[in-house]
Chain A
């Protein structure tokens, strides 16, 4: 039991590092740099593990795991979870950008009803700001029948 302490500490530290990483502000050079460094590190470790499979076993024993294959599995889990969290955040960010883009396009492409369909109450003269609910208290929008779609503010 006690021999597994080392790997437990390593795993807990790894997940704590994820948590801290995720709480840091999302962008900036440092963030990208850390991600790339971790990526290079993971790749280097993979290559080493392929070239010297026995060291994997030795390292596993050193941290209190029976087999190198188990160590590999633990490593895979850590990388997988970290990657999932990063991707989740990325897609969140992406969704936000798409939303803002779509919103801007939607407002540019707003279509106004044809003049014939505009209700009589829409007469511009009646639209003094606070006078009547029916004139000013509109759910939005000030278009008058004469305005053309392209000229919406």
Chain B
């Protein structure tokens, strides 16, 4: 066996704290190593060429690349050695950058650690066996989770690309947060005017199947072949019969239902269509408020409905869809107001959130676009905006910036002046963050053309005084205390992960960060991919982002799906479990532990029963391998021999 070792300097990233030349010299002494060298940038084209040439010249048959994390470049180097004629699984990487050079300062200790880590990789690669992929068919349908602007963009792009799309939205209408906005920054475009046509396209697209008011129940399978169970929640209205006439909503006697669409700005009816442009425009009953459900009698809507669509006995329904890829665009949530007792949020009606204010500004909102104080419906003249309500506040566990609040506050200040010309807006801010195209000009316009007074400092307290709310804060530029008597206070509440984000991630087997936002495969180079192949991200589910970024990600995710589906067959990962039928005793403990149901019983000719792995179903976790009492089932590429070779390489003193 002739192992070749290539140690990368990665510029000074590795060579700065690891003596790569000494490491190469040490490695040359290791039995089995025929060639060891160090190179400036192994991943560069000449670097890869060097590997190929060395394989030919030195007749190498196993390769170890000591460089960055295999999560970064394993695929790159597998392709390289394959081009030089070796099986791609004859490669091992030693992670001497992320795990060594970047985390230790002591060059001597780092170099020793690097040498040992490379020796481990050499020990493992000598145990590697050639593995070959098989190919399997792809189901070219895509599931999009979330019907906000990111999800709709992904669905439309996939649909236009000729793919069948299943779009699942948990609320009764698509549109998401953007459908609730009045105008959008920095152009002051009417939000629903630019979103509405997209929503109609989604509804009318012959490739898109929309499940509104539905949630993901369960997901099974793997890239190319997912089985998705979708729970269609009971609406108590037969949507095939419902014409969306709205008669039921007019006559419903239960007038104090919570309005989820308007974030509780004003009550709605127990049977309602969330907003005039809703897609699908169908009514649904909220059983928490409907008298038929709470008191057991009413039935007004059933009597009034001209098409007899009301069905109080309706149950949730589970449907199954088979798809090959999934785009997750499940959006974001907002922090609860009761997290800010010092701002009186939740206690004083005239302290509201940015999204609630948006509903007051909106012509299709509950006040038809008239700005009023919730307490007495008077027109407010002095309005205070408080930015970073929760954002960048470690004490609330939200150290991050919510990304778009600075911009929407500027927009709301501009719109306030448009609605009430004799009004005065104050904005308490920490920093103005406006790093987009035309964004900084926009925040300046709010101040210079619309006269919004920006005060740099945080608000410490808000308390009522007569009909006014007194906002107490600091002006850190002047170094003084500021008190503003306001008619209305708007808090730019922090963006959080969507409620239920973690549970959805667990169904999808994707990772989420401490805050519940989904983790992309690489923060810069793979922003819409996840580590689960076939699952892609779009929009604010991955982190707070504004409309242009969400739309961009929606299209990017669609492009990734279209690229994945450009082939009819996908190559399977051959690192799956294999059974040695000679040593298998047929206890089938592996079958019990396999999380994927990938193991079957198989009867051999003599009547002996053994385990048999269905290769395309096996995901390669190796739980079976550590379960098997006789070592008969081995996860390829991570066999007992391979892992023990690494253990022995470390533990030999």
Please determine whether chains A and B interact with each other in the same assembly.
no
Residues on B close to A: CB < 8 A? Answer: none
**Chain A residues packing against B (C-beta within 8 Å):** none
